[in-house]
């Protein structure tokens, strides 16, 4: 029983990836696309809590920028939404992937145009890809061990063709 629980835990990133893929494909099958424009950014600053301030380690801020996109629906309604996908900056190591005024492709649901996403790989598929890669990383050593065990067993128990009568 314990082996199955471990297997399910190791496979959980794949379950997340499958669920997100189904969700994204369902969204895209119902969505209309149009062109939008980055009109602003919503920023959120977090402080790295993994450093112990009492030990003198720096508590560096990390700011995530979420693009705010404006677009016009097919019936002429102006919509503004904040993307769910943000871009980090920490000591200027990363910058926003978008800039003010950038033109982006937008997918939205016509019945609820505020249910919109930037139609690009990062917004739709990056987290799916990360979960899938995590699943591969977790399962790769197990698959290698099983293959090694199979070949070890096969070598140990093979019949020697020279000793046939």
* Predicted TM-score (pTM) of this structure: 0.68
d(CA 85, CA 114): 15
Report the relative pairing of strands 78-82 and 112-118 from DSSP bridges: unpaired
Q: Does residue 141 sit within a domain? A: yes
- Range(s) of the domain holding residue 42: 32-118
What are the pLDDT digits (tens) for 27-54?
999 999 999 999 999 988 877 655 555 5
Q: Are residues 69 and 12 in the same domain?
A: no
In order of 85, 88, 119, the CA distances from 111 in angstroms are 22, 32, 18
Q: Does residue 84 sit within a domain? A: yes
What are the pLDDT digits (tens) for 48-89?
655 555 555 566 677 888 999 999 999 999 999 999 888 876
Q: Are residues 14 and 68 in the same domain?
A: no
* Number of structural domains found in the chain: 2
Do the beta carbons of residue 106 and residue 116 sit within 8 Å?
yes
Q: Does residue 151 sit within a domain? A: yes
């Amino acid at each position: 029983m314990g082996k199955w629980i471990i297997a399910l835990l190791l496979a959980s990133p794949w379950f997340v990836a499958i669920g997100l893929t189904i969700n994204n494909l369902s969204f895209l099958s119902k969505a209309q696309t149009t062109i939008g424009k980055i009109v602003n950014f919503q920023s959120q600053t977090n402080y790295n809590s993994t450093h112990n301030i009492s030990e003198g380690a720096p508590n560096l801020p990390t700011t995530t920028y979420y693009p705010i996109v404006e677009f016009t629906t097919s019936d002429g309604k102006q919509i503004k939404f904040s993307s769910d996908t943000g871009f980090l900056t920490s000591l200027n190591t990363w910058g926003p992937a978008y800039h003010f005024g950038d033109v982006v492709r937008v997918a939205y649901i016509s019945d609820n145009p505020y249910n919109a996403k930037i139609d690009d790989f990062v917004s739709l598929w990056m987290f799916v890809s990360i979960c899938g890669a995590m699943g591969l990383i977790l399962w790769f050593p197990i698959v290698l061990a099983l293959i090694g065990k199979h070949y070890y067993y096969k070598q140990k128990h093979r019949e020697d063709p020279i000793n046939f009568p």
